Amino acid sequence: MDTQLFFIINGTHTAFFDSFFYLVSQRAVWIPLYFAILYAVWRNYSWRGVLSILLMIGIGMLFTDWANSHFLRPWIGRLRPSNPENPIAPLVHLVNGKYGNGYGFPSCHSANIWLITFVSIYWLRNRWVTLTLSITAILWCYSRVYLAFHYPGDILGGFLLALLVAGVLCKIHSRYMHHQPIMPVRQGTVPAMALALILLYMIINAAVV
């Protein structure tokens, strides 16, 4: 079933979607959104909050990357769908000739983007922030399947790993280091506006390629 779902997503390729999801999967294009999140945190918690959220995300990513590279991926040993050693590789649609080597379960991209999402939502309990980051994470994860770097199950594994790690970090912070915001949550629409501009840029860029 996982393989069938992968082929459904990977098989819906068009020139527009190839360009669009290739851009979605590039880390640099999301930098304005990250700064918008940090700005919203700063407006509510000052620099102490900015440093705290960066520390939580940094520790979380170090752990998820370590768990993936040293434990989970070697132990599970699931080849990426586009890995040339995978029997289904000849049937996979590649974008710009890019393919993945090694193992893919769980997805580091999925774990990292959902970790950022969960920790940011913990700090900024605002519906606009929740909606914005959820859309971003879903788009990012969908792109990894579309581009044939992961199966949907890999994405789910990364999501669950991020949920576990973020839950532990937020629980520790809430219990031992919690402090009240200096004002009610504000600037929650700033990340949403950043996402809208990023999506507009990607749509225009993909349409003219």
Note whether 201 and 24 are within 8 A (CB): no
Triad 65, 163, 202: Cα angle to 5°? 75
Q: Which domains does the chain have, with CATH numbers?
A: 12-86+102-208 (1.20.144)
> Angle at Cα 115 formed by Cα 120 and Cα 176, nearest 5°?
65
Tens-digit pLDDT profile for residues 44-69: 888 888 999 999 999 999 999 898 88
Q: What angle do CA 205, 38, 140 make, to 5 degrees?
A: 40
Cβ count near 63 (within 10 Å): 17
171/183 Cα distance (integer angstroms) = 22
**What phi and psi, each to the nearest 5 degrees, are found at residue 103?**
-100, 160
* 141 membership: H or E segment, kind and range: helix 127-146
Q: Is 79 helix (H, G, I), strand (E, B) or coil?
A: strand
* 102-155: pLDDT as tens digits: 899 999 999 999 999 999 999 988 889 999 999 999 999 999 999 999 999 999
Reduced to 3 states (helix: H, G, I; strand: E, B; else coil), residue 97 is coil
pTM attached to this predicted model: 0.92
